Amino acid sequence: MADLLKDMYNPALVAKLSAACAGVDPLFNTEAFTRDVFDATWPQRELKQRMRHLTEQLQRHLSGDYAQQLASLYKISVGFGGFTAILFSDFVAVFGTGQPDLSIPALAHFTMLCSSEFAVRPYLIQYPERMLAQHLSWADSDNHHLRRLASEGIRPRLPWGQDVPWIKKDPALVLPVLEKLKNDPSEYVRRSVANNLNDISKINPELVLEVARRWKGSAPETDKLLKHALRGLLKKGNAEALALFGFEEVLYEVENFGLDKTEVRLGEKLGFEIVLRHTGKKPALYRLEYVIHYRKANGKTSPKVFQISEKMVNTGESLKIRRNHAFADLTTRKHYAGEHHLAIHLNGTAISQASFELLVP
């Protein structure tokens, strides 16, 4: 994914950007700008490095001081959108923190083109009280891009985002913003609130459970938000999180469980099957997951949870599940040879497990 985004910063984009700059700044030298962008190290630069390099070259080649350059960027940005447009808010993040009166409205403007979620982080660090008030204000905006920024920008563990120590230390400080957005009409916004709460659950799970208790049942959309927000706790088998959504201890029998083979080569799939029969006296909600305990380079194992299904099961009913799991190296996971384990979890509890050998050339 990162490689695909990296390739979006290409000669065609730079030519379009250069022409737009020349259109608003008569002193802008398109040849010099293009030459400096595509320097000797351009091919080796990764996604964020390319974006930052473009940001720095804009600052170098646009005429005037920061205020004049920002005024030019308002005009230049017209016609740009999507991920590549993030360089405009990046410009504000890198060069504008000393002038918040100019820069904070610019962050709001550029978030319409591509989210300013990363660019607000230096401002949150430097102006915590002002920015918290600003996020509360954005949460009341008529524009869903700004309302999403209100939540996304203050995530405690924003992927690719700069750490904001005061949020990680006390994430309860951002809850007033999330309270305003919990029933937002836009799923785009509610999804951000859910991701924010999921971040918080990794720091202070009790805080998120307390929020969930208060919000649960207020609206179907909010319940869906909470289900996504508590996904990490649900995968960990947190009893209170499971109970909030009706996943309680059930009576069952394992009628069959097994793997298709005990050895699997990298690049192959491992098939498995489990058959459960519900023996309780009343229907029960089943949440079924399988967990692969991957072997790491140091010989220890690390679990990864994969959801199978959620289903209401009647008394005496049998539930048959068959799945195939592919083993292939990814950018996010490298496989190592050795013994692995596959476990079946029912409502957060491991009920069956089998071992297999992964063969890596």
pLDDT tens per residue, range 304-322: 999 999 999 999 999 999 9
Residue 325 predicted with pLDDT over 60: yes
Percent of the chain residues topping a pLDDT of 90:
96
> What backbone phi and psi angles, to 5 degrees, belong to 8?
-70, -25
CA distance 25 to 2: 32
- 75 CB-near residues (< 8 Å, 6+ apart): 23, 24
Mean pLDDT of 163-174: 98
Tell me the pLDDT tens digit for each residue of 22-62: 999 999 999 999 999 999 999 999 999 999 999 999 999 99
Task: State the pLDDT at residue 2.
Answer: 46
DSSP state of 110: H
Which residues in 330-354 are b (16+ Cβ under 10 Å) and which e?
Answer: eeeeebeeeebbbbbbbbbeeebee
- Domains of the chain, CATH where assigned: 1-119 (no CATH), 252-359 (2.60.40.10)
Task: State the pLDDT at residue 140.
Answer: 98
Task: State the pLDDT at residue 249.
Answer: 93
Length of the chain: 361
Q: DSSP 3-state assignment of 350?
A: strand
Which residues in 23-58 are b (16+ Cβ under 10 Å) and which e?
Answer: eebeebeeeebbeebeeeeeeebebeebbbbbbbbb
Tell me the pLDDT tens digit for each residue of 203-261: 999 999 999 999 999 999 999 999 999 999 999 999 999 999 999 999 999 999 999 99
Nearest to 25 by CA among 77, 78, 79, 64: 64
Two tokens, residue 227: 């289900």
Mean pLDDT of 149-161: 97
Residue 3 predicted with pLDDT over 90: no
Two tokens, residue 140: 């009341």
Q: What rounded mean pLDDT belongs to the chain?
A: 96
User: Distance between terminal CA atoms of the chain?
Assistant: 26
Task: State the pLDDT at residue 331.
Answer: 79
Residue 1 predicted with pLDDT over 70: no
CA distance 337 to 89: 44
Residue 333 predicted with pLDDT over 50: yes
- 243 CB-near residues (< 8 Å, 6+ apart): none
Mean pLDDT of 9-15: 95
Whether the Cβ atoms of residue 286 and residue 319 lie closer than 8 Å to each other = yes
CA-CA distances (angstroms) from residue 340 to 147, 262, 276, 324, 355?
44, 10, 23, 15, 6
Please report which confidence band the pLDDT of residue 271 belongs to, taking 50, 70 and 90 as the band edges.
very high
Nearest to 153 by CA among 231, 223, 74, 89: 89
> What backbone phi and psi angles, to 5 degrees, belong to 80?
-105, 150
CA distance 274 to 320: 6
Give the angle 101-107-111 at the CA atoms, nearest 5°. 160
pTM value > 0.85: yes
More confident residue, 3 or 87: 87
Residue 63 predicted with pLDDT over 60: yes
